A and B are shown apart, each in its own frame.
Chain A
Amino acid sequence: MEHIVIIGNGISGVTAARHIRKLSDKRITIISAETEHFFSRTALMYIYMGHMKYEHTKPYEDWFWEKNKIELKRAYVNEVMHEEKQLLLEDGAKISYDKLIIAVGSKSNKFGWPGQDLDGVQGLYSYQDLETLEQYAPNKKVCKRAVIVGGGLIGIELAEMLHTRGIPVTFLVRESSFWNGILPNGESEMINRHIKNHHIDLRLGVNLKEILADENGRARAVVVAETAEEIPCDLVGLTAGVSPNVDFLKGSGIELGRGVKVNRYLETNVPDVYAIGDCAEQREAIGKRRTIEAVWYTGRMMGETIAQTICGNRIQYNPGNWFNSAKFFDIEYQTYGWVNSNEQLPDYEEHFHWIHEDDTKCLTIATHKETGKFLGINTFGIRMRHEVFDTWLTDDRGTDYVVQYLALANFDPEFYRSFESQVLEAYTNQTINA
């Protein structure tokens, strides 16, 4: 029986395993070092905040794996020896495979800052990160202040986490406004205000110079590059993005760029070795997507795709319309299609922006200037129906149409006040003015 080995029990590896099981009775083994069972990385924050315990973050009950004949092995893979079709584990044991799926995810970025490896300096990616966080920032007595470096999705989650334990947070963001490399200005500025409303000390347009140690080799302060200000702290969170966790593959003969290089079939340069999820790097970008897509949904979709290929139906990874979502403290964010930030705005793209007077809801719709085609939407504090936008994007609807029928796409709970008429009014007025 063919033996499929998957390294990494995250969403991509586990989805691949599940779908291979649905399609075949091949032997499947998942090897992973982080935890015994698959858990939801996206829920790490809720464990620290006390909303959930670790066991609640496991999407499948523990009996699931045996019942579906998916073997789990908790081990770290030191080396892939593709010529022998074997893996060398940390304890020296070897495992043979017929086909190998690399789904090893990401690691937190560190940009060579002085002091980045001190105690009390960490990223937020793995379960182990959560354990060290619990050690260095259990409460506001042990951790009198935390400094977070890097204003992305994980940085703001870490800020929210620490905030729930009453730990004062200074948030150093390199950009001139939160996440404005991705978000249009109106939205980014609303989130700035929301962060500050939570009493986070948000510093925009600043960089980390170095992290200072105390006599025990523990972080005691950070120095801001622009102002040379020294900010005393007991925890430094490095959240300046993630990158593929592929160092162990160096020299293995599997071609690496920033991640594991794959073609549209998710095949690497080595036969019978595939890569999916955060660690896979497309040789050429698919549409407007990045070559490395470090999000949950794409990991899942790659897992679904690779299962087909492995079970004899070789197909390309061919993602549909882009979508994503996140939450900034209390404000939910959803996006469908492409809305570029002001910094990256292509010539042809124009924006319609609407913001509610309570400053917690807004939306931006991107339109093609010449054709009036609807390109994408960002919503904050308003839930939207994925299916509807997916159809509108596929059908190449115009923005006029989308705004007119916006109510069809609303996904807020029943009895919520709706804003479509306000949006329509604002849209019509600006069209007339323009």
Chain B
Amino acid sequence: MAILDIKNLGISFGGLRAVDNFNLSIEKGELYGLIGPNGAGKTTVFNLMTGVYKPSDGIIMLDGENITGKNTVEINKAGIARTFQNIRLFKNLSVLDNVKTGLHNEFAYSTAVGIFRLPGYFKDERLMDEKALSLLKVFDLDGEKDYKASNLPYGKQRKLEMARALATSPKLLLLDEPAAGMNPNETKELMETIKFVRDEFDMTILLIEHDMRLVSGICERLSVLNFGQVLCQGPTGEVLNNPEVIKAYLGD
């Protein structure tokens, strides 16, 4: 059974049909790419999936659960975590605390336990520290754990965002242009990390990316979006050689 099943998803902003009749089905453990020219509606699809926008049409099923119309918090609890195209870290928190914030719902000791330092506090904080550190290690960020997040270089900020999203133990991870602003070396390293995350955590990943080396290097299947509509979808090799796709990217 598909872990994600989207049927006939659509939304309009005023007169603009930003996403229209969008269908997508992803299997568990798949690494799936969503590509398309600027303004095609890719980020809007993520925003619809995570409850930032309410869809005007369609149904979104996650692992058999209908999550259409739920709010962002409920959807995260249901199992979708994401990163953002324009990085959204907790700038003034330390790198470690950014990830620990992602563990908010897993180690849910109460406010009173936190204020009065009851025994649960120390136990949960220790477990959170351990888990957050092990996630930081995956992204090679453990050395910078006490840095303020805003003091990390750009590429590491993107990785930290991934670590934070993973901390919520999602079923599906959405990455919005994870390689944006990275140099070729960093991108290569990122590709390894993404593959590692998929294998290590048995994760299903849907990513938006403009960098075709990354897309062709790690995505197993692709959907191409153009003017809010799916132009074509299928195995990566086939899609990238589709004349219509090439035309959409290069223009007429």
Please determine whether chains A and B interact with each other in the same assembly. Answer: no
The interface of chain B, by Cβ under 8 A from chain A, is none
